[in-house]
């Protein structure tokens, strides 16, 4: 089973940028589609972005489309989430996990501890 460790979160002002990383270990994840999710305080976990194992297809939630970019480096077993033009409503704990290849919004794997993102006004 793959273990996932997210990092790169922090405190940033509205309009700023952060780059999150998710490193997988335990087994190669080169053939897994991966997704980013987030959970804001008092809210349900929501899908943010997904990417197929080749990186050829990406999908975003409407709330982040045009601002966030998901990418991966299979040689490094790492998935990234570049977050630009951050808004206070992006404040949440962010997690990555394995997702279904035919539905990138559906998580199927285990979860890491997440990384916290706080966007101030």
Overall size of the chain counted in residues: 121
The pLDDT score that the predictor gives to residue 28 is 73
Say yes or no to pLDDT of 2 above 90: no
**Span 65-88, mean pLDDT?**
96
Give which of 66, 37, 38 is closest to 51, Cα–Cα: 37
User: Rounded to an integer, what distance in angstroms lies between the CA atom of residue 80 and that of residue 58?
Assistant: 12
Band the pLDDT of 90: cuts 50, 70, 90.
very high
- pLDDT, mean over the chain: 95
Query: Helix or strand or coil: residue 76?
Result: helix
Residue 10 has pLDDT above 80, yes or no: yes
- Predicted pLDDT of residue 6: 98
More confident residue, 112 or 15: 15
Confidence of residue 27 (pLDDT cuts 50, 70, 90): confident
Mean pLDDT of 88-117: 94
Give, as one character, the DSSP assignment of residue 52: -
The CA distances from residue 95 to 11, 32, 49, 121, in Å, are 17, 16, 11, 23
Query: Is residue 114 predicted with pLDDT exceeding 90?
Result: yes
Alpha-carbon gap, residue 79 to 5, rounded angstroms: 10
Residue 1 scores a pLDDT above 80: no
């Amino acid at each position: 089973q793959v273990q996932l460790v997210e990092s790169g979160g922090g405190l940033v002002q509205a309009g700023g940028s952060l780059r999150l990383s998710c490193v997988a270990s335990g087994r190669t994840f080169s053939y897994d589609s991966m997704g980013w999710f987030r959970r804001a305080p008092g809210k349900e976990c929501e899908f943010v972005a997904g990417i197929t194992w080749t990186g050829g297809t990406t999908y975003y939630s409407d709330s982040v489309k045009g601002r966030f970019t998901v990418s991966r480096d299979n040689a490094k077993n790492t998935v990234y989430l570049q977050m630009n033009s951050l808004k206070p409503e992006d404040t949440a704990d962010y997690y990555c996990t394995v997702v279904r290849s035919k539905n990138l919004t559906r998580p199927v794997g285990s979860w890491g501890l997440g990384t916290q993102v706080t966007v101030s006004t």
